[in-house]
Amino acid sequence: MPVITLPQFGATRLRSYILRLPLFTRCIIGIMVLLWIVGIQKVWDVQKWGALYPDEIGLSSMYRTNTFPLIHAGFIHMIMNVIAVTPLIERFEAEHGTLTSLALFMGQLSWRCEGLLLMVIIALSTIPALMYTFIERGIFHLNTGVLGASIWVFTLLAVEAVKTYKTNPNFTVGTVQIPTWTSPLILVLFISFLVPNTSFLGHVCGLAFGYGWGLGYLKFLAPPEKILRWIEGKMNLLGRLPHYVSVDQKTYGRYGVLPTSNNPIIPADTNIALGFAPTQGTLLRHAPIRKLPPILSFLCIVIGVAWLLLLPLDDYSRKTYVSENALLPGQVHTYFAGSDQNVFRGYKREVDMLGNSSNVEVNDKLEGFFKASGLKVARQNYEYRSAGEVYKGQNVYAILHAPRGDATEAIVLVGAWRNMEGVLNRSGVALVLTLARYFHRWSLWSKDIIFLVTADSKAGPQAWVDAYHDTHQSPAVDSLPVKSGALQGAVVIDYPFDHRFESLHIVYDGINGQLPNLDLFNTVVSIASGQMGIGVSLQRMWQHSDSYQDRLKTMLRGMINQGLGHASGPHSSFIPYHVDAITLQPFGNGWQDEMAMGRVIESTFRSLNNLLEHLHQSFFFYLLMQANRFVSIGTYLPSAMLVATNFTIMAIFLWIKSGWPTAEEEAKAKVLSTEGGEEKEKEPLLLVENNGAKALVPLKDLEVRERKLFLPLAIVAGCHFLGLLPLYIFNHTSQALLPPTFLLFTTLQLLLPFLLSSLIHSHHPPSLPQLHLTQSVSLLLLGMYLSTLATLNFSLSLLIGLFSVPLTYIRPLGHWPYISTLLSLLLQTVAPSTVLLAGARWWGVGVGEVLKEAAFGWDVWGMSTQVVVWCVWWPAWVVGGVLVLGRPGVEGEKR
């Protein structure tokens, strides 16, 4: 019996369909894409120029009735409309001809025929546009602008629905008979409900015209065929224009109907691989198609980077707003002033006197201050070991029990004794003590307030938060003797100087790229800038001009901080426990004093005190451009996803390519020419039948190579296993040995591709398909890892993806030793260790300090950046270095 195959849409039919698109359809698609590209720039507003605004329609602006379907609001809007409208316009052109389509789609055309001037007023966009304008402006008295080719989509769908109704009047849903002509109307309703910012009225106007055209009432608008033939004959359009559909050439379905099946029916007496479809197996063997995956891969990279660069523009970013109504930022009057300033000065004098005292002596004094304010006080000892050093200290904290609460929720105010730079936080600690005394006088608190003073800004906060949530490691970290309820938020004060300040710098980056809820950030910005008149900055952008350059620089700085995954302040230790936290750092010289800083914190705590539930309404994944502008995950995520997709595309391409015959095998399989009148060898052919049509297909095009996966999988798995070595070494080496260890590792890394390549080729020389499979598996894993990582740490995924781009296009060049050696050395420039060294030099720190910080993050903070670098990025780089030096051998076994 013959092999039975189900109808399916193959790449062969897609390629054939695209190549057969008629002329006008191609032009329409090209114009849509071109106008979207032009619309990216900001000098000329394309949407404002060509969109359909009812109040703008006049004799001088009638062009809008023809241009609005060609202009789109963004890339997604454009590509979806192109996909939807292409088969419909192509079908219409195939039925009516290119000239008729041009007249009906693109505006007012005129022809001269024996002195007669015939004006054809356009139908498919002008008449629906005028209908929309009349109803919107004349009846509703509105001026809602519309744009996009969806009006053509629904017009042509209505035309097709009427045709279908004549042959198949109804379709059944359950027991209900529904007329087929209602299908476009149902689709309009669904789109209006599901897709925001769609024009229901505009779509209905398009449907109304489409039904009129399909029923034949508006066919008089089409130009007469006699005139069209005269124009075609005079201008010889059929001979001059490729893909032109003339009046005499047009036939229904000439281009618009795809075949239902393209799989050949293989005769039963033919021996062939089970389930093989020749069109699918041979498509990518054609030279034009072979070039497509690398081009798609390159486009993914270019579009991904371009997408990122577009984010700072107003069209792609949004102004910040507070989603949680209960916060009410800046809606309360603050009273922190007057005599409290004298209390602050007294505490600051005491802190200055304790500057050189031991941690225990400092906590003895601080405990006395907290107890004098009427608070319950406790201490916690901790000790961490990392990179051969010991980090030990003692935290002291006090709890203000809420007069109106039940000790189920708490807010934390943190003031580390020394900040991230190791400087005494004199004003910060003094302000914590002053606010503790001040808050105790008020009876409005519904949540407990915890005042925490840690010995440092790195280990101390982490030890306290871990112990609060009972995830600490005993006995190195003590348990907390006193606790309160679930932590709702935390604010850290980093105020090391004693002079007046100009603005407020907000630090919000957490460990492993995690971020606090955006509502907390927006609340502080609203209070500081709106209520207190204090300027706000972020990412150390001390002077922000709101220009594209400053927005881009702020965004990139935030991405680098999130990509590194380290703690940027004491607040970072709270975020992994879903406790929203930020650090406030006054900077500059201005007229703001410590009282203004205290009022900002008081108002912030008053807002957090209003919460009825944990912050959840706003975003946890975002990129900030400035204090009042951000980009959400739905807008920026495609950038990293596109870069990761490029690896997957090339992995699939290399997998398919590994099943092709090699160049030597193709040369042997060619039909030998006849010599002396005798044919030496003929190429074996196979009779293939499809829908009554028969063809002879070369049997070599149907052959499938057996893929030998053991060696490629062993190489990739071995390289990933090697990644555990630097992960372990750099996290368990003492600080003094880190620089020489890194130098030794970099030297060995330089030789590693040569050593591995030599080892592999001396024991089991891989064939070219096996090298393709090795690269395919490596890229597939890299693309999978980065796609998953992009949803957790977008910045790290994008950065590693961009540094790994050269791995996509490397090829085995072992037969050219000089070129392969040169490329292997060039590949060293994007190696993880090289990037690490360059980054350390850029920031002016030693590589030993960077590795020490990374080891501390691994041991204390739970930082996972090292895992991604050494177990994902570095193995992919090693595989790439081995592939560049690869010398394809000859397979010993026959296929």
The DSSP call for residue 233 is H
- State the chain's mean pLDDT as an integer: 84
Question: Does residue 857 surpass a pLDDT of 50?
Answer: yes
**pLDDT score of 279:** 43
| Nearest one of 872, 544, 550, 498 to 716, comparing CA atoms | 872
> Alpha helix (H) ranges present in 658-683?
663-669
Least confident of 205-209, 630-634, 693-697, 841-845: 693-697
Q: HEC states along 376-405?
A: EEEEEEEEEEECCEEEEEEEEEEEECCCCC
Instruction: Return the half-sphere exposure (C-beta side, CA atoms, 13 A cut-off) of residue 586.
Output: 27
For residues 526 and 479, the answer to whether their CB atoms sit within 8 Å is no
The whole-number pLDDT of residue 521 equals: 96
- The pLDDT tens digits of the residues spanning 274-319 come to 333 344 444 445 555 677 889 999 999 999 999 999 999 998 999 9
Task: Decide if pLDDT at 767 tops 60.
Answer: yes
563 in Cβ contact with 793 (< 8 Å):
yes
Strands 629-632 and 318-319: antiparallel
Q: Where exactly does CATH 3.40.630.10 map onto the chain?
A: 325-627
pLDDT at 575 exceeding the cut of 50: yes
Between the alpha carbon of residue 111 and those of residues 53, 226, 227, 228, 440, the distances in Å are 30, 12, 8, 9, 88
Query: What H or E segment, with its residue span, contains residue 118?
Result: strand 116-120
Q: Which of 4, 12, 20 is nearest to 279 (CA)?
A: 12
Residue type, 241: L
Q: What's the pLDDT score for residue 268? A: 38
- Nearest one of 862, 863, 865, 731 to 797, comparing CA atoms: 865
Confidence of residue 704 (pLDDT cuts 50, 70, 90): low
The proportion of the chain whose per-residue pLDDT surpasses 70, expressed as a percent, equals 85
Q: Is the pLDDT of residue 694 over 70?
A: no
pLDDT confidence tier of residue 585, bands split at 50, 70 and 90: very high
Whether residue 824 is predicted with pLDDT greater than 90 in this model: the reply is: no
Distance CA 273, CA 583 (A): 65
Report how far residue 458's alpha carbon sits from residue 386's, in angstroms, rounded to the nearest whole number: 12
Q: Are 417 and 395 in contact (CB under 8 A)?
A: no
Phi, psi of 535 (to 5 degrees): -65, 150
Greater confidence (125 vs 517) lies with 517
Tokens coding 406: 């039940």
Sign of CA dihedral 584, 589, 594, 595: negative
- Which of 171-185, 586-600, 714-728, 748-762 shows the lowest per-residue confidence on average (mean pLDDT)? 171-185
Q: pLDDT per residue over 436-479, tens digit each?
A: 999 999 999 999 999 999 999 999 999 999 999 999 988 899 99
> Is the model's pLDDT at 9 over the cut of 70?
no
Place of tokens 């369909």: 17
What are the residues whose beta carbons fall under 8 Å from the beta carbon of 585, sequence distance 6 or more? 494, 495, 504, 505, 506, 507
Would the pLDDT of 514 be above 80?
yes
The Cα 11–Cα 656 span in angstroms is 14
Can you give 320-362 as a three-state secondary structure string?
A: CCCCCHHHCCCCCCCCCCCHHHHHHHHHHHHHHHCCCCCHHHH
The answer to whether residue 712 scores a pLDDT higher than 90 is yes
pLDDT above 80 (res 504):
yes
* CATH number, domain 11-251: 1.20.1540.10
The residue ranking higher by pLDDT, 123 or 447, is 447
CA distance linking residue 189 with residue 490, whole number of Å: 47
Say yes or no to pLDDT of 106 above 80. no
pLDDT band at 45; cut points 50, 70, 90: confident
In tens, the pLDDT along 394-443 reads 999 999 999 888 889 999 999 999 999 999 999 999 999 999 999 999 99
- The CATH architecture that domain 325-627 belongs to is 3-Layer(aba) Sandwich (3.40)
Judged by DSSP in three states, 590 sits in strand
- 834, pLDDT greater than 60: yes
Greatest CA span in the chain, whole angstroms? 116
Cα separation, 834 vs 349, whole angstroms: 48
Structural tokens at position 274: 């089970």
**Dist CA 13 CA 16 (whole Å):** 5
Torsion on CA atoms 375, 376, 377, 378, rounded to nearest 10: -160
Do 774 and 879 meet the contact criterion of CB atoms below 8 Å apart? yes
Contact 529, 605 (CB under 8 A): no
pLDDT value of position 174: 66
Q: How far is CA 355 from the centre of its chain?
A: 47
**Model confidence pLDDT, tens digit, residues 645-683:** 999 999 999 998 887 766 555 555 554 444 444 444 556
pLDDT in tens, 151-164: 888 888 888 888 88
Distances from the Cα of 767 to the Cαs of 288, 723, 806, in angstroms?
A: 25, 26, 22
- Picking from 526, 516, 608, the residue whose alpha carbon sits closest to that of residue 568 is 516
The residues assigned a catalytic role are 150, 203
Q: How many residues does the chain have?
A: 895
The pair of three-digit structure tokens given for residue 660, joined into one six-digit string: 């092709």
Q: What distance in Å separates the CA atoms of residue 705 and residue 895, rounded to the nearest whole number?
A: 6
Q: Tell me what percent of the residues of the chain surpass a pLDDT of 90.
A: 50
Residue 527, CA distances (Å) to 104, 431, 531, 657, 798 in order: 58, 18, 5, 60, 34
| φ, ψ (nearest 5 deg) of residue 389 | -115, 160
| Tokens 């670098």 sit on residue | 869
Enclosing H/E stretch for 468: helix 459-468
Predicted pLDDT at 252: 40
The 3-state DSSP class for residue 506 equals strand
CA distance 639 to 304: 4
pLDDT mean over 475-501: 94
CA dihedral defined by 522, 527, 529, 532, rounded to 10 degrees? -170
Q: What is the DSSP string of 241-307?
A: STT---TTT--TTTTT---S----B--TT----TT--HHHHHGGGSHHHHTHHHHHHHHHHHHHHHH
In this structure, the strands spanning 581-592 and 629-632 are unpaired
Interatomic CA distance for residues 885 and 754, integer angstroms: 7
Secondary structure in 3-state letters for 794-806: HHHHHHHHHHCCH
What pLDDT is attached to residue 690? 60
pLDDT tens-digit map of 236-257: 777 778 878 877 665 443 333 3
Mean pLDDT, residues 365-387 taken together: 95
Residue 669, pLDDT score: 52
Centroid of chain to Cα 584: 29
On the question of pLDDT at 191 being above 90, the answer is: no
pLDDT in tens, 324-346: 989 999 888 899 988 899 999 99
pLDDT (average), residues 557-580:
95
Token pair of 637 as six digits? 């995520």
| Cβ neighbour number for residue 79 with a 10 Å cutoff | 14
d(CA 32, CA 82): 8
**How do beta strands 486-493 and 581-592 pair?**
parallel
pLDDT of 291: 76
Where is average pLDDT lowest: 3-12, 100-109, 358-367, 741-750?
3-12
The boundaries of every CATH 1.20.1540.10 domain in the chain are 11-251
- Assign 158 to helix, strand or coil: helix
Helix axes 98-106, 225-235, angle to 10 degrees: 110
